[in-house]
A and B are shown apart, each in its own frame.
Chain A
């Protein structure tokens, strides 16, 4: 294991609308609680290109214009191709899912090519999907995923990838009860929350991929257990 895990927070100035920094906070803390050093590398759009040497990449959500700019930025230099081929984990949230996908259609009707790291095509839906979402993850050992979705895009996952979860409650991709998309260690989802704060098993799985060895489990604090229990109850929107 390397002595310091490098977490790349990619383009928070363009794609950071929905508390996406939170996923970096969660990962850094979960490492710290295990006495593993980490460093969060913030990659702003003023940088030359995305660095290739990080151990985990986080890509958040943003507006149409920001997504298009992000694709352009992430093609600069050698891009993310090297890390993805090496099995370095990449987490894309919402707009990040569309950026990492095959193609997406913006509000003006134009179709844009994505980076193609997951096989997923996105088009605008009839209305925004907003609310709590619960899925059963397709990733081994991750179990129930809970999050908050807030997106217009509807995504079809192609044969080359699989969904991150099966929707128990909420909208998700809007096709085939699927939510998100996964190929190799590239994980994409519409879940805000942020997703790793609510789903520690997913957070630890990404960290294990990043480090290349299993991590000792951490106990979930009572507030986290209570939050997951509250949100997995069927048909309860908010605690009133």
Chain B
């Protein structure tokens, strides 16, 4: 990766096509004054589109049709197709994409940025263009934005404007009957980055598909935190040759190779290539969140945030859109964990294996989950061997059969409440896939 510039934090000026006026922000000690205000004059059409969008959002809220954000964003975008580009002018936008961890990492980025100046965010997971417009509309003057974006939609974003920072977390199989195969997604990300040569890209060096997507970009910071799921990274994403273990250094005959890490995430800290340590004592559990936090810190550092202030804000986060939050269900506290594909199931199983709380697993297969649940067999449920587990959801029986073959004793419950009521003492961990998680969260809040 000789052509890749290295960035170990907030310390280097970035070469490329930046305006001279912006260069003063790249200092070891961030400037004490907030970054330039996002304030800029919007053209008449965009102003009207935003006003009407906000009106629609307010009406939708009043009619009890949800937060209204999506409707407002959609309307504004239909009245002004350039709305995203116009709303992004004058701001530093961080785009977060990848199969897993988008919402949590976006939350971390937004919190970290707020140590320096106001930041808007689409924290509720509205991660396509209308969701971005809706988020940016809420505070047109906020200088920062942290936006999660669906993997296949980053290209549409970079076609409209160049984000300041792009985070590429990981790519793995997800919703097999709905979303394109991983190679297609990786290629779409690669094209998206080609449209944003001036952006700082922060990317996962332990995921060959991400390496493929980012390798040609001139400004990449590489994060290394290991990966449990390797089922989608056995072969070179560029040429198809066999790679082997993605956690080991690899170099393909086609030239694609595992880059050097700028930040390595250990059991308690993020360590820079020069040995600088940044302790990570997070309220959120697990290695997966230390990796997410390192991505967020690298982004915040690049945008001039004080690392200590940023890390303190990240450490205080206890949940992101309900993920990892402790809620009340069936009259007892329970911790909600989201797992929606083999990679995230492995992360969550790893997390709960380290603890010994009662365990409830919930699997649905509705439209938003994908109907095909054959991925259950890609997950090493053998990790739960010897632990009593209760299962629920549309696909409780498929899951129970999977657990039977994994040597795990599973009890099928009719509802999640029944499962929780029958679970043993302690605060149960509930691992649920997308619609199951969403419904449980909504119910716990009502």
Contacts and interface: CB of A to CB of B under 8 A. Distances in A.
Interface of A: 13-14, 16-22, 25-26, 29, 44-46, 63, 65, 69, 128, 130-131, 148, 150, 192-194, 197-198, 221, 223-224, 226-227, 230, 238-240
B405 A26 contact: yes
B378 interface: yes
Contacts of A65: 240
A148 B231 contact: no
Interface string B169-184: 0000100110001010
Interface in B394-440: 394-398, 400-402, 404-407, 410, 412
A21 B372 contact: no
B177 A221 contact: no
A223 B400 contact: yes
Interface in B231-269: 231, 234-235, 240, 242, 244
A19 B235 contact: no
Given A44-B242, A224-B401, A148 B377 contact: no
Contact of A18 (B240, B365, B372): B372
B377 A22 contact: yes
Given A19-B376, A150-B372, A238 B394 contact: yes
B404 A221 contact: yes
Contacts of B242: 13, 44-46
Given A13-B242, A17-B176, A25-B405, 6 more contacts: A21-B378, A22-B378, A29-B405, A45-B235, A227-B397, A238-B394
A148 B405 contact: no
Nearest to B372: A150
Contacts, number: 96
Interface string B363-398: 011100001111111100000000000000011111
B177 A223 contact: no
29 contacts: A17-B176, A18-B176, A19-B374, A19-B375, A20-B377, A22-B374, A22-B378, A22-B402, A29-B405, A44-B234, A45-B235, A63-B181, A63-B183, A69-B240, A130-B372, A148-B371, A148-B372, A194-B374, A194-B377, A197-B377, A197-B402, A197-B405, A221-B404, A223-B400, A227-B400, A238-B365, A238-B394, A239-B397, A240-B394
Contact of A150 (B176, B364, B401, B410): B176
A19 B377 contact: yes
Contacts of A221: 401, 404
Interface string B290-327: 00000000000000000000000000000000000000
Contacts of A46: 242, 244
A16 B176 CA distance: 12
A227 B398 contact: yes
A215 B374 CA distance: 27
Most buried by A among B234, B366, B378, B405: B405
Contacts of A230: 397
Contacts of B405: 22, 25-26, 29, 197
Nearest to B376: A19
B239 to A, nearest CB: 11
Nearest to A94: B374
A149 to B, nearest CB: 9
Given A44-B242, A198-B401, A223 B410 contact: yes
Contact of B372 (A16, A20, A192): A192
B374 A148 contact: yes
Contacts of B181: 17, 63
Contact of B374 (A45, A63, A193, A226): A193
B173 A17 contact: yes
Contacts of B407: 29
A226 B413 CA distance: 13
Interface string B339-375: 0000000000000000000000000111000011111
Given A22-B374, A226-B412, A238 B366 contact: yes
A128 B397 CA distance: 25
Contacts of A224: 401, 404
A13 B234 contact: yes
A13 B235 contact: yes
A20 B364 CA distance: 20
A45 B306 CA distance: 48
B276 to A, nearest CB: 38
Nearest to B369: A238
Contacts of B401: 197-198, 221, 223-224, 227
B394 A130 contact: no
Nearest to A229: B397
Contacts of B365: 238
Contacts of B402: 22, 197
A29 B173 CA distance: 26
Contacts of A25: 377, 405-406
Contacts of B377: 19-22, 25, 194, 197
A230 B400 CA distance: 13
Nearest to B399: A223
Contacts of A22: 374, 376-378, 402, 405
A223 B397 contact: yes
A22 B231 CA distance: 13
A66 to B, nearest CB: 8
